[in-house]
Structure 1
Amino acid sequence: MNQKEILEKVDHTLLTQTATWAEIKQICDDAVHYGTASVCIPAAYVKRAKEYVGEKMAVCTVIGFPNGYTTTAAKVFEAKDAIQNGADEIDMVINLGYVKDGLYNLQLEEIKQVKAACGNHILKVIIETCLLTEEEKIKMCEVVTASGADYIKTSTGFSTAGATFEDVALFKEHVGPNVKIKAAGGIKTMEDAEKFISLGASRLGTSRIIKLIKNEEAHGY
């Protein structure tokens, strides 16, 4: 798999609390230059970023982020607001308390409501694998499949760990054919990226791949 094929699956991400417009603008420029799938940025920057990149790049944002315990109504509002501001894709965090309490019906209903708010825009569901048991991960594969969401996503990158090869393989085994997989959090090398894709990931959430490429270019590797 060549570099271009990997970059086409990357959501070039900057979600730090201190992100400035200059930094957001830079990752937008890099995403357009290197041909990534999208930029994934804080909701507060969506309108300005979409006006900046226009149709040259998809803009993705996060809702209920990073803890997932806002109300369903708040998540629905966030999704509608982001789309109104120009977001092309939405990554939502589930309510992990629902999962721990076994309230999968409530979690399913929440995802359905957010998906309805997204309309024909892509919705990715972050289940924060590092905080779940294998049984809970499998159950969430079933919930996301039933919800009508487009992707199941491993991690926020803000918890105790990020994506693992094992979790992506588990997703591949248990999600329905209508659900794609996004691996995010801690993807540091092109080799890691390629392995995640080979295991079934269609998207990669990472801030490091383009930094790595730019560093190699700067040193003439």
Structure 2
Amino acid sequence: MELTTKELAKYLDHTNLSPESTEEDIIKTCQEAVEFDTASVCVNSYWIPLVTKELTGSTVNPITVVGFPLGATNTATKVFETNSAIDDGAEEVDMVINIGELIAGHDDNVTEDIRKVAEATHAKGKLLKVILETSYLNDDQIVRGCQASEAAGADYVKTSTGFSSAGAKLADVALMRATVGDRLGVKASGGIHSRKEALEMIEAGASRLGVSATVKILSE
């Protein structure tokens, strides 16, 4: 696959979710995103008001994470986080599923958790991505997680938080794409460090990439 740097940039959610990030670090992340015209800047919700301000006048969206990184917060908390972040300026929300409930086979509970967040997100006209944390899951669980996300009304499924034992894998991305077809987006996140790896993820079926190595990837 061949993409220009400008084309590739619009696949990228320029991500800074480090707990050590300062205001200066977040501003720098925003400046990099605006320079390269990425799809978005993805940060923890505390920083959304600052990011929204810094991205004003650009085509880069502020986005945030919910139930992050473990997914085991209750649904009401995830919905509150979602509403608060959107009110502060978030255009997209990346939520973590209840991973243990998926592994246990309690798919109805997983679906309902996602559905409530999807309803809150869509009520405000925004997009929802659902993080499966594929490093903990087998193929059957990945498929079921995708099916639950689609049934609940999500807009994307996403591989990883970047805080687990492994990030995105090509086989997982391909499986997710095969499961959701062209009905949902697929976001590959975690462990993407080069232009080659980014393009391979897109070829496997990713329509968005979560990366912190944005500058390196787009400067290659």
TM-score past 0.5 threshold = yes
Match of 2:131 among 116, 126, 130: 126
TM-score by length of 1: 0.94
* Aligned amino acid, residue 129 of structure 2: K
Which residue number corresponds to residue 196 of structure 1?
A: 201
How many Å apart are 1:213 and its aligned residue? 4.0
* Aligned amino acid, residue 83 of structure 2: K
Runs (5+) with no aligned partner, structure 1:
217-221
Which residue number corresponds to residue 104 of structure 1?
A: 107
Are 1:45 and 2:50 matched, yes or no? no
Match of 1:81 among 84, 98, 103: 84
> How far apart are the structure 2 equivalents of 1:149 and 1:6?
24
> How far apart are the structure 1 equivalents of 2:82 and 2:217?
32
Secondary structure (helix, strand or coil) at the match of 1:54 reads: coil
Identical amino acids, percent of aligned pairs: 42
TM-score by length of 2: 0.95
Which residue number corresponds to residue 166 of structure 2?
A: 161
Are 1:19 and 2:18 matched, yes or no? no
> How far apart are the structure 1 equivalents of 2:211 and 2:78?
23
Moved over 2 A (4+): 211-214
> How far apart are the structure 2 equivalents of 1:32 and 1:111?
31
Offset from partner CA, 1:135-192 (integer Å, 9 cap, x none): 1001111111111111000000000000000001101111143211000000011011
> How far apart are the structure 1 equivalents of 2:191 and 2:57?
29
Q: Paired residues, what number? A: 215
Range with bigger deviation, 99-108 or 122-131: 99-108
> How far apart are the structure 1 equivalents of 2:190 and 2:169?
9
Secondary structure (helix, strand or coil) at the match of 2:55 reads: helix
* Aligned amino acid, residue 113 of structure 2: E
How many Å apart are 1:54 and its aligned residue? 1.5
Runs (5+) with no aligned partner, structure 2:
none
